[in-house]
């Protein structure tokens, strides 16, 4: 965590972090302690593996219940927070990112994880995706992309490929799909990675790397909808005769154009970190502004700062 | 109006000094002339001189330029409204002169820039005309490349002379205003001021002197309603906000963006209105009481998210600086037509709190009250301000900041167990436990927009939906029980009760004063708590034959406005009727009285 951010609460007494009861002595959480409601997903849904790997991440990284916040919008995958035993919020359709930004910017002591689907991220919430990325707000966003609207039972999604037959495109999808990776790179996301639910180790790797990134970290995770788009991702699954290709080791993750090129590969494309650069986050920048402004009113209580403003209005 | 108000003798004899108790000065020009600055100086001076002051301004919605006015009413006694007819009109252009001469009272002074205004002969008999080449005299005073920039300050000098205003105090104000910039700017401003002041208006007309006002305890501060609301939120302990620019809400957002960092807080300009409310709700969920706000169409965009905050029981402040609607409507005009959306806007049953400040001072305290209601009842609270309060400047007694400022930081102390939607909680209000708090039982809450059980997990149970709907409603009913019964202005019984909300309070009180002085049986009642309404209003209404709700909105399909509709639904009393208008301007006192007379006549009584 950025030290500069942690200073703010102390200044205003805004956040009173209780002295951690021998933080080091606390054992990591067990899977049993992290599991909440049984998922409502259909048997065989790809989202199960993303959830299982989130649990694994919490276990492995010794994250405490109270230190993480799991946030989602609306959609099958967005049911996620109910299944995790931790503070969480199930917000409205498409707006999980601005909600999570409110948490991230006001609570530097928390790890903020956002889970959602392709409709949430690229259709109704498309603009929020762009702006959260360009503001580089510190949070991790995992989009479980299934190329279809599942919760509402098979309508075309913004990532459905051309020709996909759905209840709203009986003759096959006619609108060109959004490429999540291109979208993320061009919006200014500072961490952009791609994975698939059929490769658990890789999912965990990407989630860990995303969590450790200081900034807006985006992971597209292919997650098959066995009910409404069965076999969508077979070409990326070696067990189904497909190919799981890692991002070539020669790829420079700080090269935006190279990343964009990778994103343009035909399906199944590559998996791994496409793009990663270190840029100051909005969290850090705001903290810097605050530090500068607070320096000018050093030693004053809040009411005295306000008094100074009022004295100029007499 | 009192006898001691300004009246000009047209005898044309030796200049004399008259004592006056109040004056209304209307300054008309274009928006880039800095006429707001003259008004601001006069208002601030009045505040420093323990006088009452109220201003009224209109600004064009065009990007640059366009006609603009600023009206300032200064009084040694209580000033409740921005006044009906002006005593002095200062007109910079022909259009200012022609459009605003009708706002001048008969016998009033039309002071005009003779470089730009050609006075009309037919008006000279009704108004006392004084022409001064303001533009060229300003250029002469400042010289150089300033052109006529500074003519506002030159005019301030003229007015100062005319009303025998306190010159050292004004000089100090002018200096303060221009300090920090290029020192020659302050110097030029003072040069312009002195040139105006020494221009011998006194030879042309008499000058005036305000009678001493009553000594007040403590100091007065001078600000507009948007500033009072913004600073009120800061005093209340709000440290996070998010918004999207829209007139006239933007001023508050700019103020919070500028000021909050001093307190370790943050205000975020978001990509849209929905992101703004969502970010504020996110911060609210995370333990803050956060603010978002908007005007006009922006409020409509926020209503889906508002429903979530109601459902998830998250505290939130939504400032609605109302303007003329619907749609883009009349962005810089006054209207009170968002009461319905504030009280009822959204899908489903979504009880929320709505407060309406009635003065600039009240904006400051309402902000604090709103924050405390939001955090005590875990509910979104609307603050319904309007263009009239937002932009008018008033002087009011300085708040005791040490006393009113509060720290509302979240408490993250570990709890044994927690049910975010505990149905057995007293008054249906659950204590909030926010992220970062350890819960010893290991059962963590989910904040959700789905109907839920006591832990926040989804449910389709009709029984729980009924219980939770009741829980969300009961909180507001509990709040209503704590609200004070509003005080009737004037006798508690009589013929007519004029009901107001928001910015109409002032003109209504003045109308009541004037009508009572003329022997009519009229009282006033101002409602600050719109949703829920305070208990006991029926007892007040029963003391009157007519309950007339004066609102700046349309009379609707059935002949009464938005608050009147709420009151009719609540009390099913046909004597509640509406007096409405949608001309985008503040209510004049005489306008209210004329409309009351007409309304009573229409009833055949």
Is A296 within a domain?
Answer: no
Residue finishing a domain among B210, B242, B261? B210
Claim to verify: residue B28 and residue B148 sit in the same structural domain: yes
Nearest to A149 by CA among A183, A174, A179, A121: A121
Contact pairs from chain A to chain B, CB under 8 Å: 219
At A275, list the tokens: 């793009």
- How far, in Å, CA of A43 to CA of B544, rounded? 69
Question: Which residues of chain B are under the pLDDT cut of 50?
Answer: 1-5, 7-14, 604-605
Residue (of B563, B592, B207, B605) closest to B384 by Cα position:
B563
Q: Which domain does A141 fall in, by range? A: 20-280
| Domain at B296, CATH number | 3.40.50.970
pLDDT at A54 over 50: yes
Residue B523 lies in a domain: yes
B71 and B124 share one domain: yes
Residues of B220-252 as b/e, b for ≥16 C-beta within 10 angstroms?
bbbbbbbbbbbbbbbbbbbbbbbbbebbbbbbb
- B280 & B321 share domain: yes
In-domain check, residue A200: yes
CA distance B421 to chain A (A): 14
With an 8 Å Cβ cutoff, is A266 touching chain B? no
A87:B290 CB<8 A: no
pLDDT at B100: 93
Residue A29 included in any domain: yes
Is residue B494 located within the same domain as residue B474?
no
Domain holding A49: CATH number? 3.40.50.970
Domain count for chain A, please give it: 1
Is B519 buried (19+), middle (13-18) or exposed (0-12) by CB count in 10 A?
Answer: exposed
Q: What percent of chain A has pLDDT over 70?
A: 92
Same structural domain for residues B467 and B494?
Answer: no
Q: Are residues B76 and B199 in the same domain?
A: yes
Range of the domain at B447: 426-482
Distance (Å) from the alpha carbon of A69 to chain B's nearest alpha carbon: 7
Query: Tell me, what CATH number does B74's domain have?
Result: 3.40.920.10
Residue A22 has pLDDT above 60, yes or no: no
B12 part of a folded domain: no
Q: Does A1 touch chain B (CB under 8 A)?
A: no
In a domain, residue B363? The reply is yes
pTM over 0.90? The answer is yes
pLDDT of res. B187: 87
DSSP label at residue B409: P
**pLDDT score for B471:** 98
Whether residue B573 lies inside any domain: the answer is yes
In a domain, B66, yes or no: yes
Q: Among A14, A102, A293, whose Cβ lies nearest the Cβ of B280?
A: A102
Are the beta carbons of B295 and B248 closer than 8 angstroms? Answer: yes
pLDDT digits (tens, 9 = 90+) for A258-299: 999 999 999 999 999 999 999 999 999 999 999 999 999 999
Say how many domains are in chain B: 4
pLDDT in tens, A193-214: 999 999 999 999 999 999 999 9
At B253-297, the pLDDT tens digits run 999 999 999 999 999 999 999 999 999 999 999 999 999 999 999
Extract the tokens encoding A44.
Answer: 């065989």
Residue A308 lies in a domain: no
pLDDT of residue B605: 42
Is B417 inside a domain boundary? no
CATH code of the domain in which B594 resides:
3.40.50.920
* Residue B473 and residue B589 share a domain: no
- Residue A33: partners with Cβ closer than 8 Å, 6 or more residues away: A65, A85, B442
Inter-chain residue contact B239 with A106, CB threshold 8 Å: yes
Q: What is the pLDDT of residue B75?
A: 83
User: What is the predicted pLDDT for the residue at B11?
Assistant: 43
Nearest to B226 by CA among B475, B393, B103, B64: B393
| A232 belongs to a structural domain | yes
Q: Is position B36 within any domain?
A: yes
Chain A residues in contact with B235 by the CB 8 A cut-off are: 303, 306
Looking at the DSSP assignment, which residues form a beta bridge with residue B129?
Answer: B110
Look at residue A108 and tell me whether its pLDDT is greater than 70: yes
pLDDT above 80 for A216: yes
Q: How far apart are CA B488 and CA B492, in angstroms?
A: 6
Residues B23 and B140 in one domain: yes
Residues B202 and B263 in one domain: no
Cβ <8 Å between A102 and B438: no
The verdict on residue B201 lying in a domain is yes
Longest dimension (CA), chain A: 78
Interface subset of A 274-303, CB within 8 angstroms of B: 286, 289-290, 292-294, 296-297, 302-303
* B367 shares its domain with B495: no
Rounded CA gap, B345 and B300, in Å? 8
């Amino acid at each position: 965590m950025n030290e500069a951010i942690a200073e703010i609460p102390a200044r205003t007494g805004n956040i009173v972090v209780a002295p951690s009861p021998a933080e080091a002595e606390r054992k990591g959480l067990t899977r049993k302690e992290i599991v909440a409601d049984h998922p409502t997903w259909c048997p065989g849904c790809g989202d199960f593996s993303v959830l299982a790997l989130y649990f694994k991440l919490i276990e492995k990284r010794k994250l405490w219940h109270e230190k993480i916040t799991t946030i989602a919008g609306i959609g099958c995958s967005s049911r996620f927070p109910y299944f995790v035993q931790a503070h969480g919020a199930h917000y409205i359709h498409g707006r999980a990112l601005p909600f999570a930004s409110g948490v991230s910017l006001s609570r530097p002591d928390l790890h903020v994880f956002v889970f959602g689907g392709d409709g949430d991220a690229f259709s109704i919430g498309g603009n929020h995706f762009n702006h959260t990325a360009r503001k580089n707000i510190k949070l991790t966003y995992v989009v479980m992309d299934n190329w279809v609207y599942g919760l509402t039972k098979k309508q075309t999604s913004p990532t459905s490929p051309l020709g996909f037959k759905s209840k709203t495109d009986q003759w096959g999808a006619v609108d060109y799909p959004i490429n999540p990776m291109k979208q993320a790179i061009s919006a200014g996301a500072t961490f952009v990675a791609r994975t698939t639910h059929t490769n658990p180790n890789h999912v965990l790797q990407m989630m860990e790397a995303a969590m450790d990134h200081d900034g807006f970290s985006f992971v597209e995770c292919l997650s098959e909808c066995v009910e409404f788009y069965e076999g969508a991702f077979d070409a990326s699954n070696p067990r189904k005769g497909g190919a799981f290709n890692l991002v070539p080791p020669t790829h420079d993750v700080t090269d935006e154009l190279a990343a964009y090129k990778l994103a343009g590969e035909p399906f199944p494309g590559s998996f791994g970190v496409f793009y990663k650069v270190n840029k100051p986050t909005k969290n850090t920048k705001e903290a810097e502004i605050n530090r500068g402004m607070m320096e000018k009113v050093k030693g004053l209580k809040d009411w005295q700062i306000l008094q100074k403003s009022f004295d100029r209005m007499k | 109006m009192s006898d001691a108000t300004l009246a000009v003798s047209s005898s044309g004899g030796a200049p004399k000094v008259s004592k006056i108790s109040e004056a209304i000065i209307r300054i008309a020009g274009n928006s880039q002339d800095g006429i707001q600055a003259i008004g601001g100086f006069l208002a601030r001076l009045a505040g420093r001189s323990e006088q009452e002051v109220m201003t009224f301004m209109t600004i064009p919605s065009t990007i640059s330029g366009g006609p603009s006015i600023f009206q300032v009413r200064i009084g040694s006694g209580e000033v409740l409204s921005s006044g009906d007819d002006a005593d002095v009109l200062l007109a910079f252009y022909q259009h200012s002169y022609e459009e605003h001469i009708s706002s001048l009272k008969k016998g009033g002074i039309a002071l005009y820039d003779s470089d730009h205004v050609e006075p009309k002969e037919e008006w000279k008999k009704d108004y006392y005309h004084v022409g001064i080449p303001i533009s060229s005299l300003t250029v002469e005073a400042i010289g150089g490349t300033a052109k006529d920039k500074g003519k506002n300050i030159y005019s301030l000098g003229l007015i100062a002379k005319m009303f025998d205003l306190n010159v050292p105090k004004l000089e100090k104000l002018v200096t303060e205003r221009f300090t920090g910039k290029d020192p020659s700017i302050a110097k030029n401003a003072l040069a312009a001021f002195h040139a105006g002041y020494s221009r011998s208006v006194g030879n042309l007309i008499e000058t005036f002197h305000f009678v001493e006002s009553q000594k007040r305890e403590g100091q007065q501060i001078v600000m507009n309603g948007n500033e009072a609301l913004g600073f009120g939120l800061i005093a209340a302990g709000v440290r996070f906000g998010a918004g999207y620019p829209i007139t006239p809400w933007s001023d508050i957002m700019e103020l919070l963006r500028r000021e909050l960092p001093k307190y370790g807080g943050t205000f975020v300009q978001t990509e849209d209105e929905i992101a703004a409310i969502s970010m504020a709700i996110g911060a609210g969920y995370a333990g803050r009481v956060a603010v978002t706000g908007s005007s006009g169409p922006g409020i409509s965009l926020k209503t889906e998210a508002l429903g979530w905050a109601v459902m998830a029981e998250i505290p939130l402040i939504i400032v609605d600086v109302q303007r003329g609607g619907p749609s883009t409507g009349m962005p810089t005009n006054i209207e009170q037509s968002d009461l319905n959306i504030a009280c009822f806007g959204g899908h489903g049953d979504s009880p929320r709190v709505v407060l309406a400040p009635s003065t600039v001072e009240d904006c400051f305290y309402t902000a604090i009250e709103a924050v405390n209601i939001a955090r005590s009842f875990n509910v979104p609270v609307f603050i319904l301000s309007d263009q009239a309060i937002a932009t008018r400047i008033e002087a009011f007694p300085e708040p005791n900041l040490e006393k009113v400022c509060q720290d509302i930081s979240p408490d993250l102390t570990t709890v044994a167990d927690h049910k975010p939607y505990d149905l057995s909680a007293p008054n249906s209000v659950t204590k909030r436990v926010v992220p970062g708090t350890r819960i010893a039982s290991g059962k963590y809450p989910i904040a959700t927009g789905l109907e839920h059980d006591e832990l926040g997990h989804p449910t389709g149970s009709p029984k729980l939906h009924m219980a939770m709907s009741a829980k969300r409603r009961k909180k507001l009913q509990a709040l209503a029980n704590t609200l004070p019964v509003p005080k009737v202005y004037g006798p508690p019984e009589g013929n007519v009760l004029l009901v107001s909300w928001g910015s109409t309070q002032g003109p209504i009180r003045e109308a009541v004063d004037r009508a009572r002085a003329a022997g009519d049986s009229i009282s006033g009642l101002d409602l600050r708590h719109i949703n829920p309404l305070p208990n006991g209003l029926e007892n007040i209404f029963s003391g009157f034959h007519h309950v007339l709700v004066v609102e700046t909105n349309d009379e609707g399909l059935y002949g009464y406005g938005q608050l009147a509709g709420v009151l009719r639904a609540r009390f099913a009393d046909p004597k509640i009727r509406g007096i409405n208008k949608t001309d985008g301007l503040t209510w004049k006192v005489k306008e209210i009285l004329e409309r009351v007379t007409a309304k009573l006549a229409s009833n055949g009584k």
